[in-house]
């Protein structure tokens, strides 16, 4: 996995001043629009260069209107809590959209409907209060609902897809469509959302249980996590997906990489599938660690470790732009 040079078509983007003033002005009326916003401020690894535009729409209607205004050649990057994101040191030459103002949680008798920007931990707590079980694991995953759906987040033998019934999606050209979970080909840490789209909200079918028992399960999960993971240092959770029948952490440890450091980035001594930022890591340091582990594990075992963390390189940005234009 390489951070590739910027795609020539992509670098041919006109400078801000040459773009139609209209879309920048009109979008900025729909929420908070920042220019050259450092992404290190918005990712739990605390690395990443500047986003050319960082946009937080005021509400759902503003999010829909902004998708209709955004020119198709501008790459779009949906951002939740940035807890599974590794963004290039060169930044993101497009618009990062942060849906944290869309954060309503609507609990019904046996289901919950959640907007994309709601923290998963808040969803889990509210479901517990209403005696609804099935999303306890969300109490321990530090992301928003949109990111959780895009990643099919999971742990402690539960995952988003177990209870997800439908997802409301804002398509790249600004239409809103509801998909049943079955239509999204959800698999381990992957949801096949339409290209260039955003999750707006999702509904989960849950089952009734005693609030105290649900809370007890959530407490146990939190305790197990804090006993085994380096939560006091910047990280992105598991760096690699577990290969079938094995654990990425075991393979990394067996390759002698626990504690191995490049620049400011290090495979945690506490949990080998976590890379921690020891203070001044760059994205390049982390990518170099990822590639080193992939190479060594492949050489020693023949197993190809696949990153779970979403690497936002220039090639990914160029692909995103072409998907929106098609
Ligand atoms: C300490 C720690 C522990 C973790 N433990 C776990 C764990 O146990 N299990 C697990 O699965 N993960 C875990 N993670 C990883 C991460 O928290 C999850 O993947 C989470 O679901 C990401 O949510 P986010 O809001 O931070 O998404 P981001 O990191 O912001 O985004 C992740 C991906 O989702 C996309 N995305 C975000 N929002 C939207 C949207 N509204 N519409 C469409 N796409 C969107 C982004 O473009 C990106 O591709 C952990 C991370 C940390 C730091």
- Band (pLDDT 50/70/90 cuts) for residue 106 is very high
What's the CA gap between 163 and 170, in Å, rounded? 21
Q: Which residue has a Cα nearest atom 43 of ligand 1?
A: 198
> In this structure, are residues 45 and 233 in contact, taking their beta carbons and an 8 Å threshold?
no
Structure confidence at residue 235 (pLDDT): 98
Overall average pLDDT of the 44-57 stretch: 98
Q: Which residue has a Cα nearest atom 52 of ligand 1?
A: 237
45 ligand 1 Cβ < 6 A: no
Would you name the residues annotated as active-site residues?
189, 238, 308
Domains of the chain: 23-101+312-325 (3.30.43.10), 105-224 (3.30.465.10), 238-308 (3.90.78.10)
CA angle 25, 43, 119 (to 5 degrees): 85
What's the CA gap between 321 and 58, in Å, rounded? 24
Query: Which element (helix H / strand E) includes 269?
Result: none
- Band (pLDDT 50/70/90 cuts) for residue 320 is low
236 ligand 1 Cβ < 6 A: yes
Q: Look at residues 321, 313, 311, 312 and name the one whose alpha carbon lies nearest to residue 10.
A: 321
Structure confidence at residue 303 (pLDDT): 98
155 ligand 1 Cβ < 6 A: yes
Residues in the chain: 326
Go through 285-324 and write b for each residue having 16 or more CB atoms within 10 A of its CB, e for each that does not. Answer: bbbebbeebbebbeeeeeeebebbbbbbbbbbbbebbbbb
- Band (pLDDT 50/70/90 cuts) for residue 6 is very low
Query: Is the pLDDT score of 70 beyond 60?
Result: yes
Structure confidence at residue 318 (pLDDT): 53
| Range in 14-28, 145-159, 201-215, 217-231 with the lowest mean pLDDT | 14-28
Give just the sign of the alpha carbon dihedral 136, 139, 141, 145. Answer: positive
What's the CA gap between 133 and 205, in Å, rounded? 9
Query: Which element (helix H / strand E) includes 305?
Result: none
What's the CA gap between 20 and 254, in Å, rounded? 55
For residue range 82-100, what is the model confidence (pLDDT) as tens digits? 999 999 999 999 999 999 9
Structure confidence at residue 326 (pLDDT): 59
- The strand pair at 31-38 and 50-57 is best described as antiparallel
What's the CA gap between 3 and 89, in Å, rounded? 10
Structure confidence at residue 316 (pLDDT): 61
Of all residues in the chain, the percent with pLDDT exceeding 90 is: 89
**What is the model's pTM?**
0.92
Structure confidence at residue 129 (pLDDT): 97
Query: Is the pLDDT score of 15 beyond 50?
Result: no
Query: Is the pLDDT score of 314 beyond 50?
Result: yes
Q: Is 165 exposed, middle or buried (0-12, 13-18, 19+ CB in 10 A)?
A: middle
Query: Is the pLDDT score of 198 beyond 60?
Result: yes
Structure confidence at residue 319 (pLDDT): 56
57 ligand 1 Cβ < 6 A: no
Query: Looking up tokens 């696949």, which residue turns up?
Result: 306
> In this structure, are residues 55 and 27 in contact, taking their beta carbons and an 8 Å threshold?
yes
Distances (CA, A) of 149 to 136, 189, 218: 15, 9, 20
Helix (H, G, I), strand (E, B) or coil at 317: helix
Q: Which residue has a Cα nearest atom 41 of ligand 1?
A: 146
Structure confidence at residue 2 (pLDDT): 37
283 ligand 1 Cβ < 6 A: no
The dihedrals phi and psi of 38, each to the nearest 5 degrees, come to -65, 125
* Spacing, Cα 210 to ligand 1 middle (Å): 29
What's the CA gap between 281 and 106, in Å, rounded? 40
What's the CA gap between 238 and 243, in Å, rounded? 12
Bigger pLDDT: 4 vs 196? 196
- Band (pLDDT 50/70/90 cuts) for residue 323 is low
- Band (pLDDT 50/70/90 cuts) for residue 221 is very high
Atom index in ligand 1 nearest the CA of residue 169 equals 42
Query: Which element (helix H / strand E) includes 313?
Result: none
Query: Is the pLDDT score of 13 beyond 50?
Result: no
Return the bridge partners of 265, or none.
262, 277
Overall average pLDDT of the 305-310 stretch: 98
For residue range 287-296, what is the model confidence (pLDDT) as tens digits? 999 999 999 9
Q: 284: how many CB neighbours lie within 10 A of its CB?
A: 16
Q: Which residue has a Cα nearest atom 11 of ligand 1?
A: 153
Query: Is the pLDDT score of 186 beyond 90?
Result: yes
For residue range 123-169, what is the model confidence (pLDDT) as tens digits? 999 999 999 999 999 999 999 999 999 999 999 999 999 999 999 99
């Amino acid at each position: 996995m390489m951070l590739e040079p910027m795609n020539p078509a992509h670098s041919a983007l006109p400078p801000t001043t040459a773009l139609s003033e209209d879309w920048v002005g009109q979008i900025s009326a729909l929420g908070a629009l920042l220019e050259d916003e450092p992404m290190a401020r918005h990712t739990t690894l605390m690395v990443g260069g500047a986003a050319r535009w960082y946009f937080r729409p005021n509400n759902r209607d503003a999010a829909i209107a902004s998708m209709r205004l955004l020119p198709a050649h501008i790459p779009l990057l949906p951002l939740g809590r940035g807890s599974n994101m590794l963004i290039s040191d060169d930044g993101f030459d497009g618009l990062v959209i942060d849906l944290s103002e869309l954060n309503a949680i609507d609990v019904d008798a046996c289901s919950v409907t959640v907007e994309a920007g709601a923290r998963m931990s808040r969803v889990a707590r509210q479901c517990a209060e209403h005696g609804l079980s099935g999303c306890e694991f969300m109490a321990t995953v530090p992301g928003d609902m949109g990111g959780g759906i895009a990643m099919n987040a999971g742990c402690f033998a539960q995952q988003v897809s177990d209870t997800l019934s439908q997802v409301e999606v804002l398509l790249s050209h600004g239409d809103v469509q509801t998909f049943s979970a079955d239509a999204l080909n959800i698999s381990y840490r992957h949801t096949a959302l339409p290209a260039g789209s955003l999750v707006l909200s999702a509904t989960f079918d849950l089952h009734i249980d005693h609030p105290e028992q649900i809370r007890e399960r959530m407490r146990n999960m939190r305790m197990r996590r804090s006993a085994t993971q380096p939560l006091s240092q910047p990280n992105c959770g598991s760096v690699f997906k577990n290969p079938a029948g094995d654990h990425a952490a075991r393979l990394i440890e067996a390759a002698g990489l626990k504690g191995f450091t490049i620049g400011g980035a290090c495979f945690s001594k506490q949990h080998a599938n976590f890379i921690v930022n020891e203070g001044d890591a760059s994205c390049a340091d982390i990518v170099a660690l990822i590639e080193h582990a992939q190479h060594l594990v492949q050489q020693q075992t023949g197993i190809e470790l696949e990153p779970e963390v979403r690497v936002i390189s220039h090639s990914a940005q160029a692909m995103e732009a072409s998907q929106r234009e098609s």
